Amino acid sequence: MNDRPDPGPGTQPPDFDAAFRDKLRDLLLWRRDVRRFLATPLPDGLLEGLLAQAALAPSVGNSQPWRFVVVEDTARRKAVRDDFEAANQNALAGYSGERAQTYAGLKLAGLDKAPVQLAVFADRATERGHGLGQNTMPEMLPYSVVAAVNTLWLAARAAGVGVGWVSILHPGRVSQILDVPKDWHLVAYLCLGLPEEEHLEPELVRAGWQDRADVSEFILRR
């Protein structure tokens, strides 16, 4: 017996059965932050399809503030790579002892081989959404873009494409390199491509940097 209310003609949702839910859980388990890519180009049209799915993400006031910049120019890519190197050296200087050695051994970016580099910005000047939900929480604009990034990540994983989020960058410098409007705020710099290898366990866990905690540690009841 189906206890769902009848949503009316033409609006019946799909039946997300147990088999689908198991697959969805597998998708979440196998979503990885990929740093090691094959240089193989993605098939024509695949990136555009993934971006279309990313744009299905929820956004405050339906503002759709995400702006995607596909970084193809060799000089701009090199400038981003140079900024990563500078930021990475600064980050390394903040660690000492064994933690510094572990950090130095981590592969923290796939900038050298990933066939696709994608910068994702939040347009803080967008008129879409008419400001709904932003007066008390203006950070909802970049939060909405993060939702789009996660949607893209899962869609890519389902298509066999790896995604790596490069956060060791200076946002202002990246905005300069890519010559974007001043009201665009960098949220994510992503590498996309076919993974060189597959692992269920996150790379930072395998490297001994940080284990996953049990979710019970993050739940409070009031």
Integer Cα distance of 123 and 27 in angstroms? 30
What is the three-class DSSP state of 98?
A: helix
Per-residue pLDDT at 1 exceeds 50: no
Selection from 76, 97, 54, 101 nearest residue 169 by Cα: 76
Q: 139 is in which domain, residue-wise? A: 32-196
**What is the rounded average pLDDT for all residues in the chain?**
94
pLDDT at 12: 84
In a domain, 20, yes or no: no
| pLDDT, average across residues 79-103 | 94
Confidence of residue 4 (pLDDT cuts 50, 70, 90): low
pLDDT (tens digit per residue) in 105-129 = 888 778 999 999 999 999 999 999 9
Domain assignment of residue 1, yes or no: no
Indicate which CATH number applies to the domain containing 162.
3.40.109.10
CA atoms within 13 A on the CB side of 92: 14
For residue range 148-177, list pLDDT tens digits in order: 999 999 999 999 999 999 999 999 999 999
Distance between CA atoms of residues 44 and 162, nearest Å: 16
The domain total for the chain is 1
Please determine, for residue 3, whether its predicted confidence score (pLDDT) is greater than 60.
no
Closest CA to 185 of 128, 117, 137, 126: 126
User: Going edge to edge, which strands form the sheet with 116-123?
Assistant: 66-70, 116-123, 184-193, 162-166
Question: Residue holding tokens 């790896």?
Answer: 162
Look at residue 149 and tell me if it is in a domain.
Answer: yes
CB atoms under 10 Å from CB of 75, counted, come to 8
Per-residue model confidence (pLDDT) at position 166: 96
Give domain status of residue 4, yes or no. Answer: no
What is the amino acid identity at position 64?
Answer: Q
Residue type, 61: G
Give domain status of residue 26, yes or no.
no
- What is the DSSP secondary structure assignment for residue 163, as one 8-state letter? E
Q: Which band of pLDDT confidence, cut at 50, 70 and 90, is reported for residue 11?
A: confident
The pLDDT of residue 108: 76
The answer to whether 164 touches 33, Cβ cutoff 8 Å, is: yes
Residue 212 reports pLDDT greater than 70: yes
Residue 27 domain flag = no
66 by DSSP, 3-state: which? strand
How confident is the model over 171-190, as a mean pLDDT? 98
Phi, psi angles (nearest 5°) of residue 163: -130, 135
